[in-house]
Amino acid sequence: MSRKGITREQLVAEAALLADEVGLEKLSLSVLADRLEVRSPSLYNHVDGLAGLRRELSLLAANTLANLVAKAAHRRKGKNALVAMGDAFRNLSKNRPGLYASLIQAPAPGDTEMADAANRALEPLFGVLSELGCEGDQAIHAIRSLRSAVHGFALLEAAGGFGLPTDLDKSFHWMIGRLVP
Amino acid sequence: MSRKGITREQLVAEAALLADEVGLEKLSLSVLADRLEVRSPSLYNHVDGLAGLRRELSLLAANTLANLVAKAAHRRKGKNALVAMGDAFRNLSKNRPGLYASLIQAPAPGDTEMADAANRALEPLFGVLSELGCEGDQAIHAIRSLRSAVHGFALLEAAGGFGLPTDLDKSFHWMIGRLVP
DNA sequence: TTGCGAATACTAATAGCATTAGTTTAATTC
DNA sequence: GAATTAAACTAATGCTATTAGTATTCGCAA
């Protein structure tokens, strides 16, 4: 058969798009192979099985998020920056639900690359908080709370957990405003 | 073969325990059948396939949570009640991770039984907030925020998302305190 | 240009899971 | 005690992931 010239990056990117369309749970090597017009065993040349693909997706998600958050924080200050970062988070979950969902899986113990990528998305948060004069225990509490709240909000929203979609933006901003010291 | 006398409640309860042990993703009809010392097609007498089992688990989780939250709120007032309810939430995620995880799946559109069960867990929350003089938009924002924050915190904690486990309780209580109006 | 090695695709085969159909057997009911 | 129903079983199908082995194509070096 003629070569398709698939690269790992393309493969993972396509898998992410597919996950957005059909849901991360329904993403299988079979459907990905169909999409790429290839037989499923061929995927093993690029990725270490389904588990490997999932890890690549997590990595892509973490890096994508880190970039969006950094861009959102750029040239903004204080609470404005926090709100923009929160919005970036939430927008990713709305625009790329499959990709966002792959953030959830816990990194394997000792997987520093994965842990690093996740931490990179949090760095701007540290910056803004210290700029707001928030240090020590306060900063730790605030970061944990903001992460939890934003993540939980995005998940509940994606799962249709909120009854009415009215004023969801207001609620989200109210929440963030409450959690900055 | 002699009958095993399995009831649907037992089956679902056992499935929940199994999910706690091996993780919800790894819970299959096969392993459940092994645990119950039965062949997997026999499970179809009690439950509508894997999808049906998952729905039953979600229902059990929602009801369990509703009971725990109601008990936590009992005879408590104001912020004390909110903290106790939050703790109940978080404890469930720690003690029954598999069961807790099955809360996440979105209810099928039109599945009122599932939606009702989920709402029942939130009722005490409404009570406490109105008792705190929180009404209208404020109440809506607060409820959404508290749900998001508590849920997000429980998930991140379960996934090992927080680096150090030190003072996690303090952070959790700090967060709740911030979100009550 | 030719030839060689590595990368990438393929086919074939295996194993596990969910699911359906049809059968048997035990319990319940009349 | 006979008939009905419920709950177990076996057998078979189809889908997925995965491995092994094979062939083809691309890039590079002689």
Q: What is the pLDDT of residues A114-138, one digit of tens each?
A: 888 888 999 999 999 999 999 899 9
Long-range contacts of B52-56 (CB under 8 A, 24+ apart): B53/B12, B53/B15, B53/B29, B54/B102, B54/B105, B55/B108, B55/B111, B55/B114, B56/B8, B56/B12, B56/B15
**Position of tokens 């409640």?**
B9
Question: Which nucleotide's C1' is closest to B28 (Cα)?
Answer: C17
Residues of chain B contacting A178 with CB distance shorter than 8 Å: 145, 178-179
Closest-CA residue of A relative to B149 is A149
pTM of the model: 0.92
Closest-CA residue of B relative to A173 is B141
With beta carbons less than 8 A apart as the criterion, state whether B55 and B110 touch. Answer: no
Tokens of B26: 């790894």
**For B6-47, how does the pLDDT look when each residue is reduced to its tens digit (9 = 90+)?**
999 999 999 999 999 999 999 999 999 999 999 999 999 999
Rounded Cα distance, B74 and A148, in Å: 26
Rounded Cα distance, A178 and B124, in Å: 22
| Percent of chain A scoring above 70 in pLDDT | 99
Residue ranges of chain A whose CB lies within 8 Å of a chain B CB: 104-107, 118, 137, 140-141, 144-145, 147-153, 155-156, 159-162, 167-168, 170-171, 174-175, 178-179
- End-to-end Cα separation, chain B, in angstroms: 62
* Residue A126 φ then ψ, to 5°: -55, -45
Rounded Cα distance, B49 and A139, in Å: 47
A35: confidence class by pLDDT, cuts 50, 70, 90: very high
CA A71 to each of CA A64, B27, B172: distance values in angstroms, whole numbers, following the listed order = 11, 40, 29
**CB-to-strand D contacts below 7 angstroms:** A 1-3, 28-31, 40-41, 44, 49-51; B 1, 3-6, 37-39, 41-42, 45-46
Greater confidence, A12 or A5?
A12
A49: confidence class by pLDDT, cuts 50, 70, 90: very high
Greater confidence, B131 or B105?
B131
Instruction: Report the C-alpha dihedral over residues B158, B162, B167, B169, rounded to 10 degrees.
Output: -30
* Residue B72 φ then ψ, to 5°: -65, -35
Å separating the CA of residue A25 from the C1' of nucleotide C6 = 35
Rounded Cα distance, B135 and A89, in Å: 29
**For A67-101, how does the pLDDT look when each residue is reduced to its tens digit (9 = 90+)?**
999 999 999 999 999 999 999 999 999 999 999 99
Closest-CA distance of chain A to residue B8, Å = 26
With beta carbons less than 8 A apart as the criterion, state whether A180 and A142 touch. Answer: yes
- Please answer yes or no on whether A161 and B178 come within 8 Å at the CB atom: no
| Percent of chain B scoring above 70 in pLDDT | 99
- Please answer yes or no on whether A175 and B150 come within 8 Å at the CB atom: no
- Please answer yes or no on whether A161 and B106 come within 8 Å at the CB atom: yes
Å separating the CA of residue B49 from the C1' of nucleotide D2 = 34
With beta carbons less than 8 A apart as the criterion, state whether B158 and B91 touch. Answer: no
| Percent helix, strand and coil across chain B, each to the nearest 5 | 75, 0, 25
Does B63 score more than 90 pLDDT?
yes
pLDDT of A170 reads 97
* Residue A107 DSSP code: P
A1: confidence class by pLDDT, cuts 50, 70, 90: low
Å separating the CA of residue B107 from the C1' of nucleotide C9 = 42
